[in-house]
Structure 1
Amino acid sequence: MTKAFVYTEVQNSVPFGQIPWAKRNPVISSQAGFISKTWLSGLGNNSVGGIYSFDSMENAQKYVTEFFPKAVSKQGVAHTTRIFDAVVTEEASRDMNSPHFGGAIPTKPGAFVYTELQITLLFADVPWQERNPVLKKIPGLLSKTWLSGVNNTIGGFYAFDTIENAKHFAIEEFPKTAAKMNAAVYTRIFDASVVEEASRGMHSPFFQ
């Protein structure tokens, strides 16, 4: 059962076709508590990252503090990691058809969007029951996995049918939501089409 999510992004610029994912997948999947990884390839900048699920917060923390920094240091680049509590967001995410909690999306995703708001808010105080119906009307949205950071930041991992719809949401719509909350944002768009094969080998729930 998924208890924690991990987000990673490496500050590089490498077309995904040049990433030796076939060699890396067995090493990554052998880490304690690993459940799944969806590879991420940055739109426009070819950054490389992933959204992972782990069986415990402790194993997620071990991954981002021990294994991942050592692996990235060999590449000589900086990186970003985040840990999220999957337990507190399960109900809200199930309501948004999250594949991480058994949701079945009707088509392969064409793009992913990652968002995080620079605020501190317990997830119990997030009005997701009001927000979800609004999100479900967004063109092309296939699913959302709500994210609640270990320091109570709020975010989401979205799957879209096309890059165009993902860009419209990330560039035009999401900043409006952030402005209403008077919050700074961290937003990324990823090309889902290029990571399918690599992600299937890591039990990604988005490519079953």
Structure 2
Amino acid sequence: MSSNAFVYTELQLAMPFSEAPWRELNLVIKAQPGFVNKTWLAGVSNQSLGGLYQFDSIESAKAFVTGYFPLEAAQIGVAQTTRVFDASEVEEASKFLNSMHFGGSLTQEPGAFVYTEAQISAPFAEAPWRDMNPILKGQPGLLHKTWLSGVHTHSVGGFYAFDTIDNATRFVLEYFPSEAAKLNVAYTTRLFDAAVVKAASLDMGSPFFMHSASAND
């Protein structure tokens, strides 16, 4: 059974992921009500830290972004971004793109993650995902996509896994801007290095990585 909410977070700092206290943070985050899993995010170029989470309900996700996460950011002393998305609306669209959050198959581990959000307000049922999915599926290096539908805002976005940072970079610099231009909307894209977060993400039940003897090195 799929979870009912996704949460995106990012802290406005620059810290090599190898220096992040992820082991200590993982213990605390696992204890948060409704937590299901987390994929850690490490910003390419800026070395920001963040995550893509699953929660068992929108209520649990809201409690996380209004309670625990702001306190964590305050303790570190940095500004932060959080977004809550309704998972129940995007299952069909996401399954077409092999979403690991909806039972996709993992045949290779990602080299990069991409987060996108378009500044529009459209109920997901009205979004042109059926037209866009075949085009997205043909993007070089795309392994998985989970569609995102903003709670309250009805913004439309996605969380993508690519085989390499190069292919993910091409996507955020070339393809996605052209799609946003067709919609005549502003947008956000974020690019993350997947390789450096494997051990931390596996510890949090992330579906994007294969267990191995070296996963916790």
The TM-score bracket by the shorter chain reads over 0.9
1:44 matched residue in structure 2: 45
Deviation at 1:21, TM superposition (A): 0.5
Note if 1:118 corresponds to 2:119: yes
The AA in structure 2 aligned to 1:107 is Q
Deviation at 1:25, TM superposition (A): 0.4
CA distance in structure 1 between the partners assigned to 2:155 and 2:51 by the alignment: 19
Q: Helix, strand or coil for the counterpart of 2:125?
A: helix
CA distance in structure 1 between the partners assigned to 2:131 and 2:49 by the alignment: 33
The AA in structure 2 aligned to 1:110 is G
The AA in structure 2 aligned to 1:22 is R
RMSD: 0.6
Q: Helix, strand or coil for the counterpart of 2:51?
A: strand
Note if 1:5 corresponds to 2:6: yes
2:100 matched residue in structure 1: 99
The AA in structure 2 aligned to 1:139 is P
2:185 matched residue in structure 1: 183
- Residue-by-residue CA offset, 1:157-196 (whole Å, 9 max, x unaligned): 0000000000000111100000000000111000000000
CA distance in structure 1 between the partners assigned to 2:56 and 2:162 by the alignment: 26
CA distance in structure 2 between the partners assigned to 1:54 and 1:98 by the alignment: 16
User: How does 1:1-208 map onto structure 2 within 5 Å?
Assistant: 1-150=2-151, 151-208=153-210
CA distance in structure 1 between the partners assigned to 2:209 and 2:56 by the alignment: 20
- Residue-by-residue CA offset, 1:36-89 (whole Å, 9 max, x unaligned): 000000000000000000000000000000000011100110000000000000
CA distance in structure 1 between the partners assigned to 2:76 and 2:27 by the alignment: 18
- Residue-by-residue CA offset, 1:106-126 (whole Å, 9 max, x unaligned): 210000000000010110001
Q: Helix, strand or coil for the counterpart of 2:89?
A: coil
The answer for unaligned runs of 5 or more in structure 1 is: none
Q: So what's the TM-score if we normalise by structure 1?
A: 0.99
CA distance in structure 2 between the partners assigned to 1:32 and 1:142 by the alignment: 30
Deviation at 1:105, TM superposition (A): 2.8
The AA in structure 2 aligned to 1:164 is D
CA distance in structure 2 between the partners assigned to 1:207 and 1:172 by the alignment: 27
The answer for unaligned runs of 5 or more in structure 2 is: 211-217
Q: Helix, strand or coil for the counterpart of 2:85?
A: strand
CA distance in structure 2 between the partners assigned to 1:64 and 1:30 by the alignment: 14
CA distance in structure 1 between the partners assigned to 2:106 and 2:183 by the alignment: 30
Runs of 4+ in 1 over 4 A off after TM superposition: none
CA distance in structure 2 between the partners assigned to 1:147 and 1:14 by the alignment: 27
CA distance in structure 1 between the partners assigned to 2:60 and 2:188 by the alignment: 25
